[in-house]
Amino acid sequence: MKTKRTSSALRKWKQSPGDRAFDVLNLVFLALFAFVTLFPFWNLLVLSFNDATDAYRGNVFFWPREFTWYNYEYLFNNPNIFQSAFMSVLRTVSGTLLGVFCTIMLAYPLSRKAFVLRKPILILFLATMYISGGLIPGYMLTRSLGLINTFWVYIIPGLVSAWNLLIAKSFLEELPDSLIESAKIDGAGEMRILVQIIIPLSKPIIATLSLFIAVGHWNDWFTTMLYASDNNFLSTLQYELMKVLNTANQSGGAGVAGDYKLAMAKLGVQQQVSPNAIRASMTMFATVPILLVYPFLQKYFVQGFNIGAVKE
């Protein structure tokens, strides 16, 4: 009877005019916010599929006025584009796995108050956030280590980030000490505690670190230009796209070069590219792969796991 009365009371309840106005304004604000967030990305997609000459007329916002694949054909005409894409994927996967592994391995002892060298090691890593030797000493150090024009120049110098280390350490410090003490009573060693207890409970922070590190590796082109520009096999996607954009800027969008231009001329196709069109195509080609990672990690950003199974 009480449940039926409550249900009938809820049905009779009506929002006040102020509550309804707040809901409407809230929905309008969220809709505008979503539009402002998504429209620049959508507009780049539209420009990447619109004819470059027609785009100079302006007013291309929501849909291509003259649809074309030519911008992407010009981009894919680069003979190194697929090799560099493979190298970017290899670098991102390898760097993310090794980076997360080393960060967690270092953050775990630093999160334990019983570790004697906890503070000195932490201070050394914190110092790297404020003190840097600079570009030239960094290059000389990298060269002395024999990393120039090698794949490991992408991995070793930035293997552990002080910022990521602090995030992982703060998360691990929130885990109850009772879990570790109970495991030690059962005879588990530190490595077994880390692998079987700490890491399964650290999925949210592992997903967060993976995303941070993967995005950093995927978007980086300066390392390639500085340390691996002499080895075409080590060229990454971002570096190749940067070179394509520079070529388009220098040529003023007059067209493509080499065999592809000749082939298009034989077919009677007279089209042009522009720096803006190439920039839009580059942005889409470089952004979409890393965006596909977000849905797999999104759930770990909503909330952490409730830690249970603590022995009394």
Average pLDDT (180-188) is: 82
Model's pTM, two decimal places?
Answer: 0.73
Mean per-residue pLDDT, 58-80:
77
**pLDDT tens digits, residue range 81-121?**
888 889 999 999 999 999 999 999 999 989 888 888 888 99
Taken as a whole, the chain contains a residue count of 312
What percent of the chain is predicted at pLDDT more than 70? 79
Residue 201: its pLDDT value, please? 84
Per-residue pLDDT tens over the stretch 245-302: 776 666 554 444 443 344 444 444 455 666 677 777 777 877 777 777 777 766 665 5
Q: Is residue 15 very low, low, confident or very high in pLDDT (cuts 50, 70, 90)?
A: low
Q: Is the pLDDT at 307 greater than 90, yes or no? A: no
The topology (CATH level 3) of 74-302 is MetI-like fold (1.10.3720)
Token match 């060693």: residue?
A: 189
Domain-by-domain residue ranges, the chain?
A: 15-70, 74-302
> In 111-236, which residue ranges form alpha helices assigned H by DSSP?
118-127, 135-144, 162-173, 177-185, 190-193, 199-201, 203-219, 222-227
Residue in the structure block whose two tokens are 């965006």? 291
Q: Are 198 and 277 in contact (CB under 8 A)?
A: no
Q: Which residues contact 127 (CB under 8 A, 6 or more apart)?
A: none
Whether 125 contacts 103, CB under 8 Å: no
